[in-house]
Structure 1
């Protein structure tokens, strides 16, 4: 019995170590540290408030405590520190994580229905209302 337990422990140790190693890694340097330049930090904060945490999905990376949000904050701060503009950083994150990362999506081949369908629905509702109101006014004129 002891041999079986020792054998299972030997097999399970390598399988468990990647998950244990991931949680014990220190956060990225700029995940929780602000930049020294107040102008750059203001740009970073403004940008981080418009980017979605992919793990939390309902919080911006500025508000989230998820490790992935910390990594994204580090990327934003280090890229701004390297001289990239906020738009370049947003484009890089969008290319890496997809359109979903941004709270301000752009019109593209995949997102155009998000912009077109509400407009189409409003036009249909407006047409139905005009038609019904037109009938009521013509019915009231006939009855009078």
Structure 2
């Protein structure tokens, strides 16, 4: 089974530190500039904290909290640990982090995986749900 701990350092390295690019829409929440840090968007941090957030909340986001979010909201939520291949698990997790899971006509990390598996001969519903059939395929 794939391990989040093996992925943790990689995702922080990929995502980097605080991003204060005002030309990037994801750095705003409800019209207020917040920025992102470690790849965590204002919407994701607000959801995790279950409250409105400020730019100071984002600036003060710790690596530990960012990793907690990645593990809970992406790795665990989408059952990525169920993959036997660590490499595949990390590719899928990164796809979900970057593009969402997909489904409802949206292209995301899970729908891209399902489409690829179907191209390789599987017969999966491309629904953005990382279920047992997708994991088995």
Q: Give the TM-score band, short-chain normalised.
A: 0.3 to 0.5
Higher strand share: 2
Higher helix share: 1
Larger Cα Rg: Structure 1 or Structure 2? 1
